[in-house]
Amino acid sequence: MALDSSKTTGFKYVGTRPNRPDGLDKVTGRAKFGADAYAPGMLHAAIKRSPHAHARIVKIDTSKALAMEGVKAVVTRADFATGLEGEFGDILENVMAGEKALYDGHAVAAVAATSALIARDAIKAIEVEYEILPHVTDVDAAMQAGAPVIRADAADASVPEGLHPNVVRYYESGHGDVEAGFAEADLVVEDHFLTEATHQGYIEPHACLGTLGSDGKGELWCCTQGHWYVQKVCAACLGLETSQLRVTASEIGGGFGGKTTVFIEPVALALSRKANRPVKLVMTRSEVFRASGPTSSTSMDVKIGMKKDGTITAAQGTFRLQGGAFPGAPCEMTAMCAFAPYDLKHVHQVGYDVMSNRPKQAAYRAPGSPMAAFAVESVIDELCGQLGLDPIDTRLKNASREGTRASFGPTWPRIGLVETLEAVKAHPHYAAPLKKGQGRGISCGFWFNHGGETAVSLALSEDGSAQVAVGTPDIGGSRASMALMAAEVLGIPYEDIRVTIADTATLGYNEISHGSRVTYASGLATIKAAESAVQKLCARAAAKWGIPEDAVYWEDGYAKPSGPNAGDFEPLHIDEITATMGATGGPICGHFEATPEGAGVSFAAHIVDAEVDPETGKTSVVRYTVVQDAGKAIHPTYVEGQFQGGAAQGIGWALNEEYIYGADGRLQNAGFLDYRIPVASDLPMIDTVIVEVPNPGHPFGVRGVGETSICPPLAAIANAVSNAVGVRMRQLPMRPSRVLEALESAADG
Amino acid sequence: MVDVALWSGLRPLVGGRDSVAVEGGTVGEILDALRRNYPALVPTLDAGVSVVVDGRVIASSLTEPVKPDSEVVLMMRLKGG
């Protein structure tokens, strides 16, 4: 009996493109998102936020708000747990300020009232006395001597002596001798690059409905990428026993990393505990911008040496990441991803995590990697241009491949960068002629991908259909992918499988849907759970036939005797076995709980054609092609969607999106009218090519696909614009005014 | 003994070496040995690291086996979006 379903070819269901199971609910409005939950007696909450970038909280007077008709509870930091340190301490400090407001929009108090209107009026009645402190919002300024200290003693042991207290983590890695490598080069290019903070731009604001009684038992409904993590954080912030809080994840209107942490849920629960009523809390769009988690802004220096034949002789990068008012900017990820596509004898990378008076940064698809690619791939483009080299041939010449040493240390296992670059070279886009005024840009990108704690349960019904419970919120069509993988193992149609996202009371701990881990890890767990059920199905058939269990195998939905020696029995279909399962041993289920550690890294390469209007400076992306190694595309349509989504978000990041802070430290553009994300008319059709170099760590070869697609766009678009206008673009976003400035400076010579 | 390669930011904590040799047959045993033999690494290890064993990034599982001739590289813990 074959219990191992591992294969990379010969699939019946995997690789097909059925409709998504949640599609009808979403197009008819039946799907329930974070703000769609209601409860009897429910109150509405609003949060009082600091208007100052940095201020000591001298006094909070809530008496006038509490006296208002309809107001049922007010909370401040005094209503939360004390003594928290580390990660949970930082989250609580971000959820509700303690002694200081650390950024414009930092929560200082909250109200629950009988209507949202009363709650919003009540927070105006809360009087807060502030002592305004000096602030800093720029990463380079925050590192300078004399810069205001955001939080003393926040730095960890990695930070060398002598750096400003706002530098809270430091990372350095590499090998070889970069100075010797630069001496071997025919050309060395060194440049400075800047990127601004951007927001994930998810459509759905953070929203939740919390109920918490004085007995310490609670229920929470929220939109999140990881409800077990929310459970853990809320329990810590409120001093609860973790298992007494049941958390259910709603449908999610986009996350992209921004919903991997907690902003409002402990507030709703604290208000509920105080008011003894359910409390609903929904962020406004302005609050999402001011007080959720954008990306880091960056200041970067990259230096690369190259021989005339295109060989890279050495590479060095310094990456300074502004992470807001708390430690955690992914400086090490930026540094590790920066030169990952290249086989380098001499390489050195340094990362700085720098605090400022901005909201705490959060993950955004491949956190830290896109900015690194912008700097590194821009310098490689400049080198290729000056040396007259083909940008793909040059990247192929230096490409990381199995057996070469990664820039961050280990030896690469089987990876698909070479196949990806060869697919770019073979694509018609790469050879297509450009019109006057257009430029073409190329970039590589890299992301690690991840496994993580995962639990899946599969149960068969009497009619032979199956229900699969997974614990990873579906942020990209994963219910379809899980159903396809279960169908492949069970040998039953995709439509006969229903996949649900279980709540925290139903399954073991599941790590957040992040790190492009869901199709890999929950997929692996689904396959293993299905194999476990198949083993039981075979055992029931063996018992019916009176032969050993290992004389039965499973094929295409049937239990079959394994050969003439096993006996001559008519194969039993799954529904013949499940129809009598209650009388032959009981329900048939499969489970799998583990921390899969075989995630496969992935590489992408993008081709972009851009056209710049020399009078206005406006850039139009006229053609875009994404090529990426997926390992194995379980549902190719959703893989292509991930590729296109990464490119679309990258176009916004490259051309228009930015957090703009005034001299007063206040965010100037906290809304979609002033924070310009791409709309359909800004985008070309984004072509995709799926490369499949199987990951040996997954039964079907899956690598993650959700994040790598946002790594190349910033650089590919910047290279396209630079080649269109003849000026190297070193700062994002390349908004029209900035492009005009570049054109004017070039004209001035 | 297993050679454990360190990122260069850690080298000042182990006398400037780019790798150290410790006893251990699993990721957990190797991390325990690093804690015992090189106390200066403890804050970093406690903050969270990934361990790359023969090209596989082990993010959290302490029970993953390590052979004496395995390539073992310490890496900052991965985070994703």
Contacts of A256 in chain B (CB under 8 A): 81
The average pLDDT across A563-574 equals 93
H or E segment and range at residue A431? helix A428-431
Residue holding tokens 């297993």? B2
Contact B81 A412 (CB under 8 A): no
What is the tens place of the pLDDT at every residue in A105-147?
Answer: 999 999 999 999 999 999 999 999 999 999 999 999 999 999 9
pLDDT band at A2; cut points 50, 70, 90:
very low
Distance from CA of A642 to the nearest CA of B (A): 13
Distances (CA, A) of A12 to A5, A401, A613: 13, 31, 49
pLDDT at A369 exceeding the cut of 90: yes
B27 interaction partners in chain A (CB closer than 8 Å): none
> Which of B64, B75, B80 is facing A515, going by the closest CB pair?
B80
Give the E-state strand segments of A114-181 in sequence order. Answer: 127-132, 167-175
Best B52, B57, B71, B77 residue to mutate vs chain A (most A CBs within 10 Å):
B57
pLDDT digits (tens, 9 = 90+) for A483-540: 999 999 999 999 999 999 999 999 999 999 999 999 999 999 999 999 999 999 999 9
Token pair in block for residue A101: 């407001």
- Express the helix, strand and coil content of chain A in percent, nearest 5 each: 30, 25, 45
Residue reference for tokens 């060869």: A422
Cα Rg of chain B (Å, integer) = 12
- The answer to whether residues A385 and A353 touch, using CB atoms and an 8 Å cutoff, is no
Phi/psi of residue A251, nearest 5 degrees? -60, 155
* Cβ atoms A731, A194 nearer than 8 A: yes
Give residue-wise pLDDT tens across range A64-76. 999 999 999 999 9
The whole-number pLDDT of residue A747 equals 84
Contact A171 B73 (CB under 8 A): no
Going by pLDDT thresholds of 50, 70 and 90, the confidence category of residue A157 is confident
- Arithmetic mean of pLDDT, A694-721: 97
pLDDT, average across residues A552-567: 94
- Cβ–Cβ of B75/A348 closer than 8 Å? no
| Mean pLDDT over the full length of chain A | 97
| Chain B residues touching A85 at Cβ < 8 A | none
Cβ–Cβ below 8 Å for A158 and B64: no
Q: Which of residues 2-31 of B touch A (CB under 8 A)?
A: 5, 7-9, 18
* Euclidean distance between CA atoms B81 and A631, whole angstroms: 19
Contact yes or no for A333 and B54 at CB 8 A: no
Rounded to the nearest angstrom, the gap between the alpha carbon of residue A613 and the centroid of all alpha carbons in its chain is 33
A260-278 tens-digit pLDDT: 999 999 999 999 999 999 9
* Residue A119 distance to chain B (closest CA, Å): 33
CA distances from A580 to A346, A534, A584, A586 (A): 66, 15, 6, 9
C-alpha A235/C-alpha A88 separation (Å) is 10
Asked if A245 and A234 touch (Cβ cutoff 8 Å), the reply is yes
Q: What's the pLDDT score for residue A451? A: 93
Q: Is residue B59 scored above 60 in pLDDT? A: yes
Cα four-point dihedral sign A532, A538, A539, A541: positive
Residue A419 CB neighbour total at 10 angstroms: 16
How far out from the chain centre does Cα A333 lie? 13
Residue in chain A nearest B43 by alpha carbon? A157
pLDDT at position A561? 97
Least confident segment among A199-208, A640-649, A658-667, B55-64 = B55-64
> Cβ distance A709 to A645 under 8 Å?
yes
Segment A637-655 shows an average pLDDT of 98
Pick the more confident residue, B40 or A5.
Answer: B40
Contacts of A410 in chain B (CB under 8 A): 5, 52, 55, 71, 73, 75
Please name which of A275, A265, A268 lies closest in space to residue A71, comparing C-alpha atoms.
A275
pTM recorded for the entire structure: 0.97
Cα(A602)–Cα(A709) distance, rounded to whole angstroms?
9
Nearest to B80 among A348, A367, A595 (CB): A367
Q: Are strands B72-76 and B2-5 parallel, antiparallel or unpaired?
A: parallel
Going by C-alpha positions, the residue among A308, A307, A309, A379 that lies closest to residue A341 is A379
Q: Across the interface, which of B47, B55, B74 has its CB nearest the CB of A411?
A: B55
Contact call for B56 and A697, based on CB within 8 A: yes
pLDDT at A252 over 50: yes
**Residue A36 amino acid letter:** D
Instruction: State residue A129's pLDDT score.
Output: 98
Q: Please determine, for residue B78, whether its predicted confidence score (pLDDT) is greater than 90.
A: no
CB pairs < 8 Å spanning A and B: 101
Closest chain B residue by Cα to residue A411: B55
- Bridge-partner residues for A434, per DSSP? none
| CA separation for the pair A252, A206 (Å, rounded) | 9
Q: Which residues contact A45 (CB under 8 A, 6 or more apart)?
A: A110, A111, A112, A113, A119, A267, A268, A271, A279, A280, A281
Chain A segment 95-124 residues within 8 A of B by beta carbon are none
DSSP string, A344-376: -SSEEEEEEEE--SSPPP---SSTTHHHHHHHH
Return the ∠ at Cα A112 (arms to A109 and A117), rounded to 5°. 105
Residues of B in contact with A336 (CB under 8 A): 75-76
Whether A549 contacts A540, CB under 8 Å = no
Amino acid identity at B23: E
Contact B54 A413 (CB under 8 A): yes
Residue A605 has pLDDT above 50, yes or no: yes
- Given an 8 Å threshold on Cβ–Cβ distance, is B59 in contact with A597? yes
pLDDT in tens, A445-490: 999 999 999 999 999 999 999 999 999 999 999 999 999 999 999 9
Q: What is the pLDDT of residue A652?
A: 98
Q: What is the pLDDT of residue A3?
A: 67
Mutate to test the interface with B, among A169, A170, A173 (most CBs of B within 10 A): A173
Q: Are residues A363 and B61, on separate chains, in Cβ contact within 8 Å?
A: no
pLDDT score of A1 more than 60: no
State how far residue B1 is from chain A, nearest Cα, in angstroms: 18
Token pair 């614009």 in the structure block, residue: A721
For chain A, percent of residues with pLDDT exceeding 70 = 99
- Which chain B residue shows the shortest CA-CA distance from A347? B8
CA distances from A174 to A340, A379, A406 (A): 11, 19, 9
pLDDT, average across residues B30-41: 96
Q: Which of A597, A601, A653, A709 to mutate to test the interface with B (most CBs of B within 10 A)?
A: A597
Chain B neighbors of A348, CB-CB under 8 A: 8
Q: Percentage of chain A with pLDDT > 90?
A: 97
- CA atoms within 13 Å, Cβ hemisphere of A619: 35
